[in-house]
Amino acid sequence: MPPEAPVEVQLALDFVAGRVNRRAGPGRATGGDSAFASLAELWLDGVPATAGPVERLIYLFPVDQATARSALFELAPGGLAGVIAVGGLGAIVDRARRRRRGCRLAPGWLRALRLDIVEGIGLGGPLALAWAVTARRAAASGRPALADRCEFQYRRAVALHRSPRYADIAVYVVHRPG
């Protein structure tokens, strides 16, 4: 069973899936590791294509630019992809949480692959991290009312940073011109 998606990842997947799945044709979901791939697959309509070019692609946390390039080359002309990568502040968040989710993908790097960026947003950031830590500490110290209030502030803060550069997660919807 795939891991539970943190709220920011669920929002990001909702965002890209709502756009990518409106298109017909073969689709694929992939990720930087098997857990991310199986999570992304839940958001893909229909049976995933196992090989060949795809019209729809959902890509969660590419591990490095080389594998991201290979995956995005599979996007057929006219196809739409939703790419969720670590944002400009993601490395700091990852260090704080002692994990690594994958690499950054800059808008310029995506354009160099001859992809048009249809939409780009950022999710989360230092404020969200601060509220998450506060909520956890409040819960751990037996203050559930305060923990709930902090949890709601965290959820509001998750989506506060619109620019991928200043966010925990960068979300791009890209189109391969046909």
Partner 1 sequence: MSDATPTLDPAVRIADWIESTRTAGGYGGPVAHWWRDCMVDCRAGHDWRYEGIICGYLGLRARTGDDRWLGRARRAGDDLIDAQGQHGTFSRSAFELNPRSGGTPHEAAASIGLLRLALAIRQPDPVGASRYLGAAERCLVVAHIERLWDSAVRSFRDVAGRPSFVPNKACTLVEALLLLAQATGETRYVEEYALPTADEVLRHQRRGRADPLDGAVAQNSLDGVVVRKYFPYYAARCIPALLDLASATGDGRYLDAAVAAGRFVARAQAPDGGFPQVLYELGEVNEHPRWVAALGDVLRAMALLEPYDVEWDPDPTEARLVDALYPNGAMPTASGFAHQGSRRDGQLVEFRDLLPVVGWADKAFRYFGDRAKELHSADAVETEVRRSCVFRGRRGVFVMDARGVRLESAGRVVYWWRYGQGWAEAEPWVIVR
Contact call for residues 60 and 39 (beta carbons, < 8 A): yes
The reply on whether position 34 binds partner 1 by CB under 8 A is: no
Paired tokens of 106:
């800059």
The reply on whether position 63 binds partner 1 by CB under 8 A is: no
CA–CA distances in Å: residue 104 to residues 57, 87, 91, 118, 168: 18, 6, 9, 18, 10
Judged by CB, which is closer to partner 1: 74, or 151?
151
Backbone angles phi, psi at 63, to 5 degrees: -80, -35
Of 98, 145, 177, 178, which one interacts with partner 1 (CB under 8 A)?
145
Residue 111-140 contact track with partner 1, rule CB under 8 A, x = bound: --------x-x-x---------------x-
Q: For the segment 8-27, give every residue that binds partner 1 (CB under 8 A).
A: 10-11, 14-15, 17-18, 21-22
Identity at 128, one-letter amino acid code: A
Q: Which long-range contacts (CB under 8 A, 24 or more apart) does 71-74 make?
A: 71/30, 72/110, 72/113, 72/115, 72/174, 73/113, 74/28
The reply on whether position 103 binds partner 1 by CB under 8 A is: no
Q: Would you tell me which residues interact with partner 1 (CB under 8 A)?
A: 1-2, 4-5, 7, 10-11, 14-15, 17-18, 21-22, 42-43, 45, 119, 121, 123, 139, 142, 144-145, 148-149, 151-153, 156, 158-160
